[in-house]
Structure 1
Amino acid sequence: MKKKTFCCIIPIIGKTNVGKSTLINKLIKKKISITSKKTNVTLNPVYGILDKDNYRIIYIDTPGITIRNNKIISCKKNRLILNHIKNSKLVIFVVNGILWEKDDEIILSIISNMKCSVFLVINKIDNIKDKKILLPYVSILKKKMNFDEVFFVSAKKGKFVENINNVVFRKSELFKHFFKNEVFTNQSNEFIVTEIIREKLFRFLGDELPYIIRIFLNYFILCRRRKSKLYGIILVKTNNQKKIVIGRSGNKIKKITYESKKDIEKFFSRKLNIKLLVKVQN
């Protein structure tokens, strides 16, 4: 008799910088989505897959919903996020601690009209000194919408994140599994590598980093018996941007290359020879 399989596809939504990418990394216990204090770091939906026995959970890390003049603007990114919500039976709505803002209200008004269960995840509780205010805060939010579940977590520190997985597994429905076994993301190896490099650019350049930076992999091969090889190009628009990325005496690009190498080696469990060049787009 064929073994029954259970599956649940869950978009993780919210405004920018509430910790959605950090949360999905902790939920699936693998770093698949880059994180930064800078806004709009996640550009495309990233799928994270968690298996347990005959259960499979597919989390979707969505970009922050773009809101202008108190309205969700009509753009390809927002339409894609809304489509994920519309086609899902369960959504995780992430908010930043007790900092409830107008953007949260607008997102809530959208999901409240959808026919799906909603889990509210109050993230960054490690930043709240007086935890006694959390329950009154939730009581106020529950008057806005009757959330199916409410979780208090610190995604950055991994506190109480597993509570979400435990409840989600119970909510999973009898369904055929998507993707092959032992797969933990839908993204290609090349995408993962470029995202790791992009994260290091965000981390070490901070506000100096121009958003228009692009990364190309001229050569990337994973080897089992010898060192893997990576040759990448960081493409910028001006010579001034090139100087920023390289840094004085090449200190910035050396640090970016070294930290990228460490994370790529850890992710693929392979030793790596890496070379990153910075070029100005013609």
Structure 2
Amino acid sequence: METTKTHIVHGGTLRYLKHDSATTGTSMTLSVFTPAGEGPFPVLIWLSGLTCTEDNFTTKAGAYKAAAEHGVIIVAPDTSPRGEGVADDPAYDLGQGAGFYVDATQAPWAPHFRMESYVTGELIDLIDAEFPTTKTRSIFGHSMGGHGALTLALRHPELFKSVSAFAPIASPTRCPWGEKAFTAYLGEDRAQWAKHDAALLIESGAAKGVFDDILVDQGDADSFLTDQLKPELLTAAAEKAGQGLTLRMQPGYDHSYFFMASFVDDHVAFHAERLKA
């Protein structure tokens, strides 16, 4: 990996990096915060939402004070492959910046849009090889990235100690964002869609006995709450499966990074407790 920028923050080091990805066939960018000291440290992977790059969380979330205090590395990758020759769409909710953390099976997306394999394979391997990690990790994210964090943890529970989300797309098979993206990336077969739906995965028991609790924060003034996010589907699924899930409806908060910055310390602490157990 090539370091493109370095900053000292809360006594630790924040690096912006890029590398050529064998998984996506493109150059990929990310940021990595490492606390002060020799380590090794556990890792917390952040997945961002629609239209975001690795920079949104890095500059807006204010997570590094808590990460430094708890001794946790935070990794924030880009949300999709990008560049010349990579398929795209004029809409903000499909194509570059909107990878949905799945491996596309349909043209023209399949050659590069392999974000599930990238995050759960190549990215983890690179971080463990290049940084002083304990080779243990957790995952969290926002909106599309909240969907990504939940589904990747539920589909690959052996990789993660814990999972949380801010305003996640709870059930992409039952909202316009998800239906559009899954049709494009995965085709018309809804049975394939269900494999990437957090509410349906929880309902099927995918997390039971693996994650003691799943933390979800959701603002009740979020403009996407009713049509796109539907957190009540997560609660219903958890109750049906007997899965621990804490949904905190936060009064007055919207979908922005102001919301995440207000509660990110809680999420870092939630994961640090489980990563160090």
**Structure having the higher Rg:** 1
TM (norm. structure 2) is: 0.28
TM (norm. structure 1) is: 0.28
